[in-house]
């Protein structure tokens, strides 16, 4: 079974630009979460989507947004990029049982974003 895939793997942008990152979850997985990883702050939760709805949101400014499509694929967008947005952006998917039990999150390889 193919794992979580993320595109692109590497990206260079300049301040003020916007960027869209894509994530394809493991087949059958319906929940997609996004995380930002930086040397300074570690791994931080951005948001989670399930059935095309945002279920949870982390403590990030409104410049960070996301969405999920009917096939569970997800995108996240960062507008008006700042130097501090340089990070590894990770996507994780999980099956999410309807009983609400905990489901393991499996991570993709990430997209490395560099803002100049």
The contact set with other proteins (CB under 8 A) reads 4, 31, 33, 35, 38-45, 48, 50, 55-56, 58, 84, 90, 92, 94, 96, 100, 102-110
Two tokens, residue 102: 């905990």
State whether residue 96 is helix, strand or coil: coil
């Amino acid at each position: 079974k193919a794992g979580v895939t993320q595109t692109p793997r590497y990206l260079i942008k300049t301040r003020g630009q916007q960027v869209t990152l894509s994530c394809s979850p493991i087949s059958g997985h319906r929940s997609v979460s996004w995380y930002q990883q930086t040397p300074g702050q570690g791994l931080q939760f951005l948001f989670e989507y399930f059935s095309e709805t945002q279920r949870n949101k982390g403590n990030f400014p409104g410049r960070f947004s996301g969405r999920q499509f009917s096939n569970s694929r997800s995108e996240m967008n960062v507008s008006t990029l700042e130097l501090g947005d340089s990070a590894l952006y990770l996507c994780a998917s999980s099956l999410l049982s309807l009983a609400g039990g905990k489901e393991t999150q499996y991570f993709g390889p990430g997209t490395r974003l560099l803002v100049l």
